[in-house]
Chains A and B, each alone.
Chain A
Amino acid sequence: MSPRPVLKILGRLVLVLAAALLFPTVCCLIYGERESAFAFLASAAITAVSGAVMMLLGRRAGSTLYRREGILIVVGGWVLASVFGALPYLLSGTLTTPVDALFEAASGFTTTGATVLPAIEQAGYGILFWRSFTQWLGGMGIIVLFVALLPELGPGARFLYKLEVPGPTAEALQPRIRDTAGVLWRIYLLLTAAETVLLMLCGMNLFDALTHTFSTLSTGGFSPRNDSVAAFESPWIHLVIVVFMILGGGNFSLYYGMRKRRGWNLLRDFEFRLYLILIAIASLVIGWDLVRSGAYQLTAWLPIDAVFQVVSVVTTTGFATQDFDTWPNLSRMLLVALMFVGGCAGSTTGSMKVMRMLVGLKTAFREVRLSFSPNTVASVFVGGKAVPESVVRSVTGFFILFISSWGLGVVLLTLGGHSLVTAASASIAAIGNIGPGLDAVGPSMNFAFFAAWEKLLLILMMWLGRLEVYSIAALFVFRFWRR
């Protein structure tokens, strides 16, 4: 493995990031925040210089990429994005320690939405814009953006694309992967425009509409308000956000199919239907639980709040309109269970994904069948189609890695002296890219109280979840580094 092509490509990626840092600068100038504007400009300058140096170091690299280089680029890209994305928080003085700044940036890019900001609304427009903007960039994927923007990646691009979008159905929509990435980003932009306009029609101002849209479609969950979406009283705003969270949790290649007028294949898609059914059932159960326990007033808000919380959690967004930590135990437990599910494959959500859950369960049932009829050869079928054995293997491996990483996270966090509920929910909130958990990390709390090493652990788990385990796990395998 040679570091040169890795440096060369990462250098370019860092330059793209430097360009991205100019957007919040504009925002600062509009709202007259001179100090923040300076912080962003300085961050952009540092980022640009670093990128240029990296490109210089790797300038003589050949253009061929192999698997290992690909993995290093993807993981390196996410680490560097978080590192450089942390600069504005530090330089503007919003956050004082490097670990906190890195946590906020990683939480943004991985669309987790867990925050260490003590008082959100005091951070200023520029910083709040950047927070949501990092989620928007990370939602569709920085590598996908990079592939779409830079033409000269060549055949290696397909590689990188597949490593960042490893889900069980990473399909190419166009013969050229660059065009596929472009198509996905255009769909993403279209949805962004649609939601912003709708939110403004419901009475939000441009800043709130844009930042909330960024965090909704990317299923990230950062809100520029202390009270998250609960700060807005119009039920229409809640409903618009619910709809777009659901869309953000759908498979984006399906939207492309709709655009090509292949009918309403969205509702014909097996996974998407299952995802909607799951949301409906969970909402009904929680609504019933809230009524039953009497913890909640019977108003029109009850169904809206129940659906909002379910959608927010299952799409791994993490917006809150209610402090669901105060809800009865059945509802709390159900919400935590939904955190493990996530949205559809090929969406902006984190966690395990509906498709993997289904394939994993069906694989397990097949093993049960094989226990009494060992000669049976059976495929795992999803929606009438056989799932290739390679996918079945990869899903099983993913299950094991995901669950054991979560478990390890829980153990390490309890080592830090936190309650079991806090540790367990913080661990899934990080690795599932959700954001809030229960107890000390509940929707009305934040992650600032964790020790520095615990924050670093949570950051690692966010990356692990966003890149769907395998790429990062590879770095911990000795053979990966062997020449």
Chain B
Amino acid sequence: MEPKRYVVMGAGEVGFHLARTLSQEGHHVTVIERDAGHAERIEDQLDALVVVGNGSQVRVLEKAQAEDCDLFLAVSSNDEANLAASLLAKRLGAQRCVVRMGTGSEVVRRRKVYEDAFGADLLLSTQLLTTSRIVNRYRGFDTTAVEYFAAGQVQLRKVALDAASALVEQPLRDVSLPADSLVVAFFRGDELIIPSGDDRAEEGDEALILAGTDSIAQVERMVTAKPAPMGSVVIAGGSRTGQLVAESLAGLGAKITLIERDRRRAQVLAADFPWLHVLHGEATDLALLKAERVESAHFFVAVTGNDESNLMASLLAQELGVPNVLALVDRAETSHLWRRLGLMQVFSPRSLAYERIHEYIDSGYSANIVSLQRGAAQVIERRLHPASPAAGVTLAEMKPPRGVIVGAVVRGRKVFVPRGKDRLEAGDLVILFVREEELPTVRLLFPGIDRPQ
């Protein structure tokens, strides 16, 4: 593989790890770092050019040779600087940009606006990554259980099926689901099955369903006789991440208690969310945890923004007997120590961001992909280019191979699952489910933005 040119802005934990891995893989890496002292420290540990300065200044970008890089990674801890740098780097001629943002709720709802306005090819938020990880764990899946596409308009959910499920009882064609939903695949052990109308699921399978956000809950109720038991949740810490986790889990029907140490913040949360039970106090206060019967919770998440508090609170929750305890750790390098203490579910938002970006690079810059069954299949989001062979063609004419499913089409505000006679139009956002072996076909049918236009 010929070496590529990467520019990494911000040498914090995410940036530093990315820069190190990429340069170890033999690529040319330039790092932009504001803090001269920190820049000096990392220069010794990296085989990379380190430029000291503000990444949102043209002078600094030019010095870092951002104008002809293959990928510009704006991953500093400052959202505005990242956005400005991405915009400038694109203008200067960078091929692609990845932007990291702190606030998750903005990214969920307005992803497309930011991506279009600031020339970002991939907008990611550590908060959002953290939240999806927590939600997936809550639903009892190690891999993807809930994913968002098309700026939150389309959701992908994995659902466990029992004997009473409609999908087990009758073949797929007899199950009437809402028009904007689709059963994409069944997982049976290690096997991935793309079902046709005659197929039916077996007890113990997991089904992957794709649907518009408005109807996904309805679809889930239809295919599972009883939804997975939604136990109560205790969230330690009312940070923005804590808030986002609370909102997402409440969307799944969980009863949520949140403990926040700052009274003002607690009051703000209590005023914003009528359904949220807010407690003021330290999550590490055993008396408080006992008085509020935390031991009866099904799920405990420590996201206080302070590693020591998270550690302490999760150990207490575990001691009290909460079956599922999740802890967030900012300093990723310490997480193995936590595991040694018995906290098995520890994860770092920064390593999540790092993994996500690395996945993006590995996949050949295809944004919004979700990898299933260790890469056996992927879910890809593509904007249909006018030059694409799929534009202006009905699904029946296109005859996609069996390993490719056009899962959902987002046209303006409308979300629908295309049938044989539906025509795809340039500008549509399509969500594709693709088996590994069909990826080249998809690259031909739906050329992404990475192809020269």
Closest residue of chain A to B272 (Cβ to Cβ) is: A386
Q: Does chain A have a CB within 8 A of B279? A: yes
* Residues of B138-169 whose CB lies within 8 A of A: none
Q: Does chain A have a CB within 8 A of B274? A: yes
Q: Does chain B have a CB within 8 A of A264? A: no
Q: Please, how many angstroms separate the alpha-carbon atoms of A388 and B270 in the complex?
A: 11
**Contact between chains at B281 and A375 (CB < 8 Å):** yes
Closest residue of chain B to A378 (Cβ to Cβ) is: B270
* Residues of A372-394 whose CB lies within 8 A of B: 373, 375-379, 381, 384, 386, 388-389
The residues of B that contact A388 with a CB separation of less than 8 Å are: 271
**Residues A386 and B270 in contact in the complex (CB < 8 Å), given A375-B291, A375-B292, A377-B263:** yes
**Contact between chains at B281 and A379 (CB < 8 Å):** no
Q: Does chain A have a CB within 8 A of B63? A: no
What distance in Å separates the Cβ of A386 from its nearest Cβ neighbour in chain B?
3
**Contact between chains at B267 and A389 (CB < 8 Å):** yes
Q: How many residues of B contact A (CB 8 A)?
A: 17
What distance in Å separates the Cβ of A447 from its nearest Cβ neighbour in chain B?
46
- Choose from B260, B263, B271, B288 the contact partner of A379 (Cβ within 8 Å): B271
* Residues of A345-390 whose CB lies within 8 A of B: 373, 375-379, 381, 384, 386, 388-389
**Residues A381 and B274 in contact in the complex (CB < 8 Å), given A375-B279, A375-B281, A375-B291:** yes
Q: Please, how many angstroms separate the alpha-carbon atoms of A381 and B267 in the complex?
A: 13
Q: Does chain A have a CB within 8 A of B278? A: yes
Q: Does chain A have a CB within 8 A of B66? A: no
**Contact between chains at A373 and B292 (CB < 8 Å):** yes
**Contact between chains at B278 and A376 (CB < 8 Å):** yes
Closest residue of chain A to B263 (Cβ to Cβ) is: A377
**Contact between chains at A375 and B288 (CB < 8 Å):** yes
**Contact between chains at A377 and B280 (CB < 8 Å):** yes
Q: Does chain A have a CB within 8 A of B266? A: yes
Q: Does chain A have a CB within 8 A of B443? A: no
Closest residue of chain B to A381 (Cβ to Cβ) is: B274
Q: Does chain A have a CB within 8 A of B277? A: yes
**Contact between chains at A375 and B280 (CB < 8 Å):** yes
B70-86: CB near A (< 8 Å → 1, else 0) gives 00000000000000000
The residues of B that contact A386 with a CB separation of less than 8 Å are: 270-272, 274
Q: Please, how many angstroms separate the alpha-carbon atoms of A379 and B260 in the complex?
A: 15
Best-buried of A375, A384, A386, A388 by chain B (most CB within 10 Å): A375
**Residues A378 and B278 in contact in the complex (CB < 8 Å), given A373-B292, A389-B267:** yes
**Residues A377 and B292 in contact in the complex (CB < 8 Å), given A384-B274, A386-B272:** no
Q: Please, how many angstroms separate the alpha-carbon atoms of A255 and B246 in the complex?
A: 38
What distance in Å separates the Cβ of B91 from its nearest Cβ neighbour in chain A?
39
- Choose from A377, A381, A384, A389 the contact partner of B278 (Cβ within 8 Å): A377
Closest residue of chain A to B285 (Cβ to Cβ) is: A375
The residues of A that contact B270 with a CB separation of less than 8 Å are: 377-379, 386
* Residues of A26-79 whose CB lies within 8 A of B: none
What distance in Å separates the Cβ of A32 from its nearest Cβ neighbour in chain B?
63
**Contact between chains at A377 and B274 (CB < 8 Å):** no
Closest residue of chain B to A373 (Cβ to Cβ) is: B292
**Contact between chains at A376 and B271 (CB < 8 Å):** no
**Contact between chains at B277 and A379 (CB < 8 Å):** no
What distance in Å separates the Cβ of A367 from its nearest Cβ neighbour in chain B?
15
What distance in Å separates the Cβ of A279 from its nearest Cβ neighbour in chain B?
27
**Contact between chains at B267 and A379 (CB < 8 Å):** yes
The residues of A that contact B260 with a CB separation of less than 8 Å are: 377
Q: Please, how many angstroms separate the alpha-carbon atoms of A378 and B281 in the complex?
A: 13
The residues of A that contact B271 with a CB separation of less than 8 Å are: 379, 386, 388
Closest residue of chain A to B266 (Cβ to Cβ) is: A377
Q: Please, how many angstroms separate the alpha-carbon atoms of A388 and B288 in the complex?
A: 27
The residues of A that contact B263 with a CB separation of less than 8 Å are: 377
Q: Please, how many angstroms separate the alpha-carbon atoms of A378 and B270 in the complex?
A: 5
Closest residue of chain A to B271 (Cβ to Cβ) is: A386
What distance in Å separates the Cβ of A2 from its nearest Cβ neighbour in chain B?
38
Q: Please, how many angstroms separate the alpha-carbon atoms of A379 and B269 in the complex?
A: 9
Q: Please, how many angstroms separate the alpha-carbon atoms of A386 and B269 in the complex?
A: 10
* Residues of B254-299 whose CB lies within 8 A of A: 260, 263, 266-267, 269-272, 274, 277-281, 288, 291-292
Q: Please, how many angstroms separate the alpha-carbon atoms of A378 and B288 in the complex?
A: 17
What distance in Å separates the Cβ of B239 from its nearest Cβ neighbour in chain A?
16
The residues of A that contact B274 with a CB separation of less than 8 Å are: 379, 381, 384, 386
What distance in Å separates the Cβ of B393 from its nearest Cβ neighbour in chain A?
44
The residues of B that contact A377 with a CB separation of less than 8 Å are: 260, 263, 266-267, 269-270, 278-280
Q: Please, how many angstroms separate the alpha-carbon atoms of A373 and B280 in the complex?
A: 10
Q: Please, how many angstroms separate the alpha-carbon atoms of A379 and B264 in the complex?
A: 12
Q: Please, how many angstroms separate the alpha-carbon atoms of A373 and B257 in the complex?
A: 12
Q: Please, how many angstroms separate the alpha-carbon atoms of A140 and B274 in the complex?
A: 35
The residues of A that contact B281 with a CB separation of less than 8 Å are: 375
The residues of A that contact B266 with a CB separation of less than 8 Å are: 377
Closest residue of chain A to B282 (Cβ to Cβ) is: A375
The residues of B that contact A389 with a CB separation of less than 8 Å are: 267
What distance in Å separates the Cβ of B5 from its nearest Cβ neighbour in chain A?
51
The residues of B that contact A384 with a CB separation of less than 8 Å are: 274
The residues of B that contact A375 with a CB separation of less than 8 Å are: 279-281, 288, 291-292
Closest residue of chain A to B260 (Cβ to Cβ) is: A377
Closest residue of chain A to B288 (Cβ to Cβ) is: A375
A205-224: CB near B (< 8 Å → 1, else 0) gives 00000000000000000000
What distance in Å separates the Cβ of B283 from its nearest Cβ neighbour in chain A?
11
Closest residue of chain B to A386 (Cβ to Cβ) is: B271
What distance in Å separates the Cβ of B336 from its nearest Cβ neighbour in chain A?
34
**Contact between chains at A376 and B267 (CB < 8 Å):** no
The residues of B that contact A376 with a CB separation of less than 8 Å are: 277-280
Q: Please, how many angstroms separate the alpha-carbon atoms of A377 and B257 in the complex?
A: 11
Q: Please, how many angstroms separate the alpha-carbon atoms of A389 and B264 in the complex?
A: 11
What distance in Å separates the Cβ of B390 from its nearest Cβ neighbour in chain A?
43
The residues of A that contact B292 with a CB separation of less than 8 Å are: 373, 375
Q: Please, how many angstroms separate the alpha-carbon atoms of A378 and B266 in the complex?
A: 9
What distance in Å separates the Cβ of A392 from its nearest Cβ neighbour in chain B?
11
The residues of A that contact B269 with a CB separation of less than 8 Å are: 377
The residues of A that contact B288 with a CB separation of less than 8 Å are: 375
Q: Please, how many angstroms separate the alpha-carbon atoms of A99 and B272 in the complex?
A: 53
Q: Please, how many angstroms separate the alpha-carbon atoms of A386 and B270 in the complex?
A: 8
Closest residue of chain A to B259 (Cβ to Cβ) is: A375
What distance in Å separates the Cβ of B447 from its nearest Cβ neighbour in chain A?
47
Q: Please, how many angstroms separate the alpha-carbon atoms of A277 and B291 in the complex?
A: 40
What distance in Å separates the Cβ of B287 from its nearest Cβ neighbour in chain A?
10
Q: Please, how many angstroms separate the alpha-carbon atoms of A377 and B272 in the complex?
A: 12
What distance in Å separates the Cβ of A391 from its nearest Cβ neighbour in chain B?
12
* Residues of B373-413 whose CB lies within 8 A of A: none
Q: Please, how many angstroms separate the alpha-carbon atoms of A375 and B272 in the complex?
A: 18
The residues of B that contact A378 with a CB separation of less than 8 Å are: 270, 277-278
What distance in Å separates the Cβ of B189 from its nearest Cβ neighbour in chain A?
46
What distance in Å separates the Cβ of A374 from its nearest Cβ neighbour in chain B?
8
Best-buried of A375, A376, A377 by chain B (most CB within 10 Å): A377
Q: Please, how many angstroms separate the alpha-carbon atoms of A376 and B288 in the complex?
A: 11
The residues of B that contact A379 with a CB separation of less than 8 Å are: 267, 270-271, 274
What distance in Å separates the Cβ of B120 from its nearest Cβ neighbour in chain A?
35
The residues of A that contact B267 with a CB separation of less than 8 Å are: 377, 379, 389
What distance in Å separates the Cβ of A176 from its nearest Cβ neighbour in chain B?
30
What distance in Å separates the Cβ of B295 from its nearest Cβ neighbour in chain A?
16
Q: Please, how many angstroms separate the alpha-carbon atoms of A388 and B272 in the complex?
A: 11
Q: Please, how many angstroms separate the alpha-carbon atoms of A378 and B274 in the complex?
A: 8
Q: Please, how many angstroms separate the alpha-carbon atoms of A386 and B291 in the complex?
A: 26
What distance in Å separates the Cβ of B316 from its nearest Cβ neighbour in chain A?
15
What distance in Å separates the Cβ of A414 from its nearest Cβ neighbour in chain B?
44
Could you list 6 A-B pairs, sorted by A, with CB under 8 Å?
A377-B270, A377-B279, A378-B270, A378-B278, A381-B274, A388-B271
14 additional A-B pairs beyond A386-B274, A388-B271, A389-B267, beta carbons within 8 Å, are A373-B291, A375-B280, A375-B288, A375-B291, A376-B278, A376-B279, A376-B280, A377-B267, A378-B270, A378-B278, A379-B267, A379-B271, A379-B274, A381-B274
Q: Which residues of B contact A (CB under 8 A)?
A: 260, 263, 266-267, 269-272, 274, 277-281, 288, 291-292
Closest 4 CB pairs of A and B: A386-B271, A377-B266, A379-B271, A377-B278
